[in-house]
Amino acid sequence: MPPDDCRVEVETVAPDRTTSFRKEHEREARSTEWNFPVVWHEQQHEVAALESVVVVGVLGLWIAASLAHVDSIIVAPSRRRCGIGRALLGRAESLAKYYNCHKVTLQTPADGVARTFFEACGYKLEAVLQQHTWKRDVAVLRKFLL
């Protein structure tokens, strides 16, 4: 049994309820976790392909700790196979380099056409997560930038 002062109620809360706790403790927690002094600075970038003012493709990029992660990349169906996906990824890689990332990573179905696209753009298989998203095998792909 934990001592009385360790008994807590665990609840689901709105994200802003924990903002000040995270601000106070995140740096110490990351430094403890990685066993070196960490300045943890997360960034989200949204990249868009524009035809005049119309958005025809998007890419979401997350950057932290020298690592860039492509959250999603979507090209409008009518605009596929004309280089927009490759251009979005290229822009994401330039951003990642600018922020000193050594690597870009992403996850995609192990047997899907998106994997063919990423491999055509120079991404290599790093691992396969078995029975992962939707219980399907997921490929972790990566490109080293440096």
Ligand X SMILES: CC(C)(COP(=O)(O)OP(=O)(O)OC[C@H]1O[C@@H](n2cnc3c(N)ncnc32)[C@H](O)[C@@H]1OP(=O)(O)O)[C@@H](O)C(=O)NCCC(=O)NCCS
Choose between 83 and 102: whose C-beta lies nearer to ligand X: 83
Using CB under 6 A as the binding rule, whether residue 72 contacts ligand X is answered as yes
Distance CA 89, CA 5 (A): 50
Distance CA 80, CA 58 (A): 12
Binds ligand X by CB under 6 A, chosen from 80, 91, 97, 132: 80
Using CB under 6 A as the binding rule, whether residue 75 contacts ligand X is answered as yes
Element (H, E) at 89: helix 84-98
Distance CA 60, CA 48 (A): 9
Binding part of the chain for ligand X, among 8-16, 36-44, 93-101, 113-121 by CB under 6 A, reads 113-121
Residues 118-137 that bind ligand X (CB under 6 A): 120
Using CB under 6 A as the binding rule, whether residue 85 contacts ligand X is answered as yes
Binding part of the chain for ligand X, among 16-24, 73-81, 90-98, 123-131 by CB under 6 A, reads 73-81
Element (H, E) at 29: helix 19-34
> Distance of CA 139 to CAs 75, 80, 119, 121, Å?
20, 22, 11, 15
Using CB under 6 A as the binding rule, whether residue 92 contacts ligand X is answered as no
**Which residues form the interface with ligand X (CB under 6 A)?**
72-75, 80-86, 108, 113-114, 116-117, 120
